[in-house]
């Protein structure tokens, strides 16, 4: 069971599901929608997509992980490859089953986001286009959540312009952490093409730019509360300290995502 839990990449998966649930609750409350079944189904659908993505990622990288990370569930023998595919299929089934009652638009947006993630796992992760699925999948996420809880997607129409670059920065930060391993196995992901230093600096600059842009937009709206300012600054500090290294940047970006989501909720009522 522990191997199966590790298979779905629990830390990032939990972060994505929790932030999606929080975003859905915020959007529903702001629009006067009931926080109930639609939010639950949307959260389950996102969770299903994360299970699919994580398990398929480990299955696709099983040969790579023998050399790079032998302690992972499949190369360590904790989870057979066929079981990993079964978990991925269950994740896809959960996503579709939870999405169908929500209607055609949430179902379609969720399928597009997951299809992009599947393309990353199966084809694009070792190519210079490795960042593209992050732009697509995470760019679609706010629209998917809004449609899922029954809110007009126009309310979050600009979100992909900020979420996408932040997700791209997270991808670069994560691949820089694995730079030596990817280089050894001949991967040609975007970080490898750019080089370690350029990829890291770009990741840090993108994350800081997104934070500054969000803050400027909220200030321009004229409804920023003191608490929102504190949270916004805390997110900037979390990303700023990441200049010390890729691991610290990765953690700082997770903290910033939570802080900036909360700041946006407070600033927009």
The DSSP annotation for 65-79 comes to HHHH-TTSTTTTTSS
Tell the residue number behind the tokens 């350029």, with chain if given: 198
C-alpha–C-alpha distance, residues 202 and 260, integer Å = 20
**194-211 pLDDT, tens per residue?**
999 999 999 999 999 998
Domain end residue (candidates: 156, 187, 211): 156
Number of domains in the chain: 2
> Is pLDDT larger for residue 199 or for residue 158?
199
Least confident of 5-14, 156-165, 216-225: 216-225
Confidence of residue 216 (pLDDT cuts 50, 70, 90): confident
- Its domain, for residue 247, covers 158-269
Taking CA atoms, 79 is separated from 20, 28, 122, 152, in Å, by: 28, 39, 19, 42
Mark which of 156, 182, 214 sits at the end of a domain. 156
Select the more confidently predicted residue: 247 or 264.
247
Query: Of 156, 177, 196, which closes a domain?
Result: 156
- The answer to whether the beta carbons of residues 31 and 151 sit under 8 Å apart is yes
Q: Is the pLDDT of residue 269 over 70?
A: no
Mean per-residue pLDDT over the chain, rounded? 89
The label of the residue with tokens 């093409």 reads 193
Q: What is the CATH number of the domain that holds 181?
A: 1.20.120
């Amino acid at each position: 069971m522990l191997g199966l839990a590790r298979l779905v990449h629990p830390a990032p998966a939990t972060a994505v599901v929790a932030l999606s649930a929080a975003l859905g609750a915020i959007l529903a409350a702001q629009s006067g929608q009931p926080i109930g079944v639609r939010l639950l189904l949307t959260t389950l659908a996102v969770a299903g997509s994360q299970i699919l993505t994580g398990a398929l990622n480990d299955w696709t990288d099983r040969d790579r992980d023998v050399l790079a990370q032998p302690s992972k569930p499949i190369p360590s023998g904790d989870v057979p490859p066929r079981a990993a595919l079964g978990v991925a299929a269950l994740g896809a089934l959960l996503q579709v089953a939870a999405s169908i009652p929500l209607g055609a638009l949430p179902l379609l947006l969720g399928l597009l986001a997951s299809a992009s993630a599947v393309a990353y796992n199966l084809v694009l992760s070792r190519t210079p286009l490795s960042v593209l699925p992050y732009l697509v999948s995470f760019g679609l996420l706010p629209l998917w959540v809004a449609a899922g809880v029954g809110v007009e997607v126009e309310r979050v129409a600009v979100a992909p312009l900020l979420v996408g670059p932040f997700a791209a920065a997270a991808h670069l930060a994560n691949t820089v952490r694995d730079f030596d391993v990817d280089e050894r196995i001949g991967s040609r992901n975007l970080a490898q093409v750019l080089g370690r230093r350029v990829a890291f600096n770009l990741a840090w600059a993108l994350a800081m730019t997104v934070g500054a842009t969000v803050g400027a937009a909220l200030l321009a709206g004229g409804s920023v509360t003191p608490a929102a300012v504190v949270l916004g600054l805390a997110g900037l500090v979390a990303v700023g300290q990441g200049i010390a290294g890729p691991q610290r940047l990765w953690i700082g970006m997770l903290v910033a995502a939570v802080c900036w989501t909360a700041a946006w909720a407070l600033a927009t009522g």
